[in-house]
């Protein structure tokens, strides 16, 4: 079984709809991240969390919110989806350590906003 899972894997929605993307992990990691990937732009960090009570904004948090429901679960919400949020979304995890460690990625959610 995959260590980091994301649901749904694909989603098509309409402008103005509220969307939630979910991420679960079985790696026992404290740190979790949400990225978006657009063609030619690499990965950009949306939000990250270092434990259940910790939420931090990344580079592009506007229009997004997150919830860390448990150590193993980190959800990303689009309160009112717009077409330029069409992208590939990835969740990632890493262990808490004294330095920046390897990140483990989920398979991604392809979101299309019409």
Partner 1 sequence: SQQGEEDPQALSIQEGENATMNCSYKTSINNLQWYRQNSGRGLVHLILIRSNEREKHSGRLRVTLDTSKKSSSLLITASRAADTASYFCATDRGSTLGRLYFGRGTQLTVWP
Residues that bind partner 1 (CB under 8 A): 4, 31, 33, 35, 40-45, 48, 50, 58-59, 88, 90, 92, 94, 96-108, 110
Residue 89 CB, nearest approach to partner 1 (Å): 11
User: Rounded to whole angstroms, what are the CA distances from 60 to 44, 65, 79, 81?
Assistant: 7, 11, 15, 14
Task: Give 15 or 56: the residue with its C-beta nearer to partner 1.
Answer: 56
Among residues 105, 75, 111, which one has the least CA distance to residue 2? 105
- What's the closest the beta carbon of residue 13 comes to partner 1, in angstroms? 19
Cβ closest to partner 1, residue 70 vs residue 98: 98
Comparison of 84 and 99: residue with beta carbon closer to partner 1: 99
- Is 104:43 a contact under the CB 8 Å cutoff? no
């Amino acid at each position: 079984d995959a260590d980091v899972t994301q649901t749904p894997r694909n989603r098509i929605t309409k402008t103005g709809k509220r969307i939630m993307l979910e991420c679960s992990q079985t790696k026992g990691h404290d740190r979790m991240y949400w990225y978006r990937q657009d063609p030619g732009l690499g990965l950009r960090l949306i939000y990250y969390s270092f434990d259940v009570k910790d939420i931090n904004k990344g580079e592009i948090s506007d229009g997004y919110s997150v919830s860390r429901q448990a150590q193993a679960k980190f959800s990303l919400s689009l309160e009112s989806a717009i077409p330029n949020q069409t992208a590939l979304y990835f969740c990632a995890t890493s262990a808490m350590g004294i330095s920046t460690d390897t990140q483990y990625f989920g398979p991604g959610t392809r979101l299309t906003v019409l």
